[in-house]
Amino acid sequence: MTFVVTESCIKCKYMDCVEVCPVDCFHEGPNFLVIDPEECIDCTLCEPECPVEAIFSEEEVPAGQEPFLALNAELSRTWPVISQRGEPPADADQWKDVASKLPLLER
On the question of pLDDT at 15 being above 90, the answer is yes
Q: Tens digit of pLDDT for each residue in 44-53?
A: 999 999 999 9
Q: Residue 38's pLDDT is what?
A: 97
For the range 58-64, what are the long-range contacts, defined as Cβ-Cβ under 8 Å and sequence gap of 24 or more? 58/1, 58/2, 58/3, 58/4, 59/1, 61/4, 61/6, 62/6
Confidence of residue 1 (pLDDT cuts 50, 70, 90): confident
User: Taking all residues of the chain, what is their mean pLDDT, rounded to a whole number?
Assistant: 97
Q: Tens digit of pLDDT for each residue in 74-95?
A: 999 999 999 999 999 999 999 9
Backbone angles phi, psi at 34, to 5 degrees: -135, 160
CA-CA distance, 84 to 32, in Å (whole number)? 15
> How much of the chain is helix, strand and coil, in % rounded to 5?
25, 10, 65
Enter the pTM of the model. 0.96
- Chain centroid to CA 63: how far? 17
Q: Where are the domains of the chain?
A: 3-84
| CATH class of the 3-84 domain in this structure | alpha beta
- Written as one letter, the residue type at 20 is V
Q: Residue 5's pLDDT is what?
A: 98
- For range 62-66, the mean pLDDT: 98
